[in-house]
Structure 1
Amino acid sequence: MNTDQSRSSELQTESLRCYKIPTLCQVPCLKIVLSKGLGIGIILGSVMVKLPQILKLMAAKSAEGLSFKSVLLELLAITGTMAYSIANKFPFSSWGEALFLMLQTVTIGFLIQKYGGRTGSGVVFLLVYFSLLLLLLSPVTPMAVVTSMQAFNMPAIIIGRLIQAATNFQNGHTGQLSAISVFLLFAGSLARIFTSIQETGDTLMALTYVISSACNGIIAMQVLFYWNQSPQTKQKKKKKRE
């Protein structure tokens, strides 16, 4: 058992002890209760965190401004976190939002393909992804592969967010990107830094959320910067210049 796994086991034991005899460890218990509360809140929020984005795409019947490559890299990071957490038997409250974010991100990926006139490619994308997910979560996948995926999360998150940021900068607007979803993801990743340290004691997990928070913060700042910009306003300005 490695150091992080031992730390995770100790934290879970401490959590059970605090639930049974809370007066023996007031400060640790307070942290555990706060962490559990935040974790449950994040999971409940994640059920609908990307729903505004999905509804916005469906209403506009357009995925303009969204990068499919960025979505793929985000999906890779989410899947890695989910598989790593399940393999290490981390409590559901420390990673549960990954399950709901995965389902919503897959939906967004499909919609990007569909509204780009590539519905067939979207269906293939769904089939390939869920087949690989089943393989990844099966006992035949070595722990080393799952750990490597979690380690790759950091560059995947950075590259994925930079691609989206570059797309926003190039377009001069955030297109169909949902401000609500962006801000909720930013807030959730910030809260996860604390809960991952408190509930898992896993350094790799905590560092992943630090990187994720920084990258989500960049996109959130772009949403604010381009708040009054849209494809329509940009087109109007272009016509005025002409």
Structure 2
Amino acid sequence: MMKIVSNKSAEGISMLALFLEVINYSVSVVHNLRHNNPLIAWAETLNLTFQNIVLMVLVMVYGKGNMLPGTVMFVAYAGMLFVMQDEQAFTSEYLSIAFAGGTMLTVAARGIQIAAIQSAGHAQNLSFATVALQFGGSVARVFTTIHEMPDDTDMLFAFGAASLLNGVILLQLIYFWNAKAPEVAAKDAEKKTQ
């Protein structure tokens, strides 16, 4: 977040990827609330939800283009939350289906982010620490799942896919380490000529 604000640019950050992650995390939060799971088990997911919402706002403020797509996403998200809080409209069966679909949302979100980084030709607005921690956390969850729930292939697949794609983003960050956004490179060149 600080990199986006200091660079005054959200280039290379995909609004759609953030939106898909917010939906996925929100479904997980609702799932945990409905099952009365202890907050300690899902507090990180709630925190990530809020962080991604702030990132979406920053992408709207510092991104190039109009704000309509982001505004539509926020309206859709508010509608989704309204429906999800109603247990009669969004039954446990629907919640289970949505929770299972989270893996596909994660894969889609990471795939979109990978494409956005590749298209931008830099990853200057991503935090190395955050990406490295996401990768490390998803790898740790793979091993925890193997150890604690060896028969839960759905969970293992979800964390395995997240690990793989987070690893690709980490490799992109390393590959594009010295690459800069075109406007930043132009400013740097201008400073050198002065």
Superposed pair shares fold, TM > 0.5: yes
Identity of aligned residues (%): 28
Q: Distance between the aligned counterparts of 1:219 and 1:157, measured in 2? A: 13
Secondary structure, counterpart of 1:230 in structure 2: coil
Residue 207 of structure 1 deviates from its aligned partner by 3.2
The structure-2 alpha-carbon separation of the partners of 1:168 and 1:123, relative to structure 1 and needing over 3 Å to count, comes to closer
1:184 Cα deviation after fit: 1.6
For the structure 1 residues 80 and 165, does the alpha-carbon distance in structure 2 shift closer, same or farther, using more than 3 Å as the test?
same
Q: Equivalent residue for 2:116?
A: 167
Residue 212 of structure 1 is matched in structure 2 by 162
Aligned match for 1:148, one of 88, 92, 97: 97
2:14 aligned partner, one-letter code: S
Partners of 1:138 and 1:113 in 2: CA distance = 30
Structure 1: any 5+ residue segments left out of the alignment?
Answer: 1-53
Kindly indicate whether residue 177 of structure 2 is the aligned counterpart of residue 227 of structure 1.
yes
Q: Is the 8 A contact 1:80 1:146 kept in 2?
A: yes
Work out the number of aligned pairs and report it.
184
- Tell me which amino acid in the other structure corresponds to 1:77: N
Q: More deviation in 91-100 or 55-64? A: 91-100
Quickly say closer, same or farther: Cα 1:158–1:123, change in 2 above 3 A.
closer
Greater Cα radius of gyration, structure 1 or 2: 1
How big is the shift at 1:216? Answer: 0.9
Q: Which runs of 5+ in 2 are unaligned?
A: 190-194
How far is the alpha carbon of 1:94 from its aligned partner? 3.0
Q: Displacement of 1:213 after TM fit? A: 1.6
* Alignment partner, residue 6 of structure 2: 59
Alignment partner for residue 69 of structure 1, among 16, 23, 28? 16
Could you say which residue in structure 2 is the equivalent of 1:177?
126
Q: How does 1:12-51 map to 2 (within 5 A)?
A: none
Q: Residue 192 of structure 1: CA displacement?
A: 3.0
SS at match of 1:96: helix
Q: Of 87, 97, 103, which aligns to 2:50?
A: 103
Instruction: Write the distance in 2 (CA, Å) between the matches of 1:234 and 1:102.
Output: 30
TM-score (norm 1): 0.64
Shift of 1:202: 5.5
CA shift in 2, pair 1:220/1:75, >3 Å: same
Question: Which string of whole-angstrom CA distances, capped at 9 and with x for unpartnered residues, describes residues 2-52 of structure 1?
Answer: xxxxxxxxxxxxxxxxxxxxxxxxxxxxxxxxxxxxxxxxxxxxxxxxxxx
TM-score (normalised: structure 2): 0.78
CA distance in 2, matches of 1:92, 1:189: 20
CA contact (8 A) 1:111 1:122 kept: no
Post-superposition Cα deviations, 1:164-190, rounded to whole Å, max 9, x if no partner, equal: 112222222113122121112112222
For 2:16 and 2:69, the matched residues in 1 are separated by: 14
Q: Does 1:115 align with 2:65?
A: no
Code of the aligned partner of 1:153 = G
SS at match of 1:167: helix
* C-alpha distance after superposition, 1:29-88 (max 9, x if no partner): xxxxxxxxxxxxxxxxxxxxxxxxx11112222111111111112222222322233333
Tell me the residue number matched to 2:77.
129
In 2: Cα distance, 1:84 partner to 1:178 partner: 29
Q: Give 3-state SS (helix, strand or coil) of 1:95's partner.
A: helix
Q: Is the 8 A contact 2:15 2:70 kept in 1?
A: no
Aligned counterparts of 2:26 and 2:167: Cα–Cα separation in 1 = 21
1:59 aligned partner, one-letter code: S
Q: CA RMSD in A?
A: 3.0
